[in-house]
Structure 1
Amino acid sequence: MIKKGLKVIVLTGRDKKKEGEVIEVDRPNNRAKVQGINIVKKNVKTTKEKKGGIISKESFIHISNLKLVDDKVKKTKTEAKK
């Protein structure tokens, strides 16, 4: 199970084989946001508080495209025998 704070690796897409830490999880849509993965550019309007422009930020990626690589997770019996 993918949770916030765990380390994962991307299995498919343009960021294949990259690793990162899960920032946020969207359970109803089965998506997760990973630090440094699936970076998109977004146009932001200028407001009184913030300056506008083009910013880069992480976007959600489907959980099926992620695999845990964290040592905190217990290994299964088959993985321990290898």
Structure 2
Amino acid sequence: MKIKTGDTVQVLSGKDKGKRGTVLRAIPAEGKVVVEGVAVVKKALRPTATNQQGGIIEKEAAIDVSNVALIDPSTDAPTRVGFKVKEDGTKVRVSKKSGAEL
């Protein structure tokens, strides 16, 4: 998966189209990401020992990784991601628009 935890992304489709946020969690096995402030759902929690109050909370749901695009820090625009192997043998992510390392 080309998007990692901590990346800034922009939502490309869905009810939150156009919103930007940081990736809180990446789930490569399912091909999904959890983005801060995007796909917020209400969830009912029963009272437990750790959460005495219970009630309804709001939390971010996972969205498909194909519906987000990584933001290129140099141009501040959404871009696709490629890979490049440097001379010392390390593999780095590269912006397809600007060619800059991510």
Instruction: Please give the TM-score of this superposition, normalised by the length of structure 2.
Output: 0.71
- Do the aligned partners of residues 49 and 75 (structure 1) sit closer, same or farther apart at CA in structure 2, a change above 3 Å counting? closer
Aligned Cα RMSD in Å?
1.8
Report the equivalent of 1:74: 94
What residue ranges of structure 2 are gaps of 5+ in the alignment?
A: 75-92
Higher relative contact order (CA 8 A, sep 6+): 1
Higher helix share: 1
**Number of positions where the alignment pairs a residue of Structure 1 with one of Structure 2:** 79
By how many angstroms is 1:70 displaced? Answer: 3.6
The structure number with the bigger radius of gyration is 2
Instruction: Please give the TM-score of this superposition, normalised by the length of structure 1.
Output: 0.87
Measure the CA separation in 2 of the matches of 1:6 and 1:70. Answer: 10
What residue ranges of structure 1 are gaps of 5+ in the alignment?
A: none
| Runs of 4+ residues over 4 Å off in structure 1 | none
Does the Cα contact within 8 Å between 1:37 and 1:58 map onto a contact in 2?
yes
Measure the CA separation in 2 of the matches of 1:37 and 1:70. Answer: 19
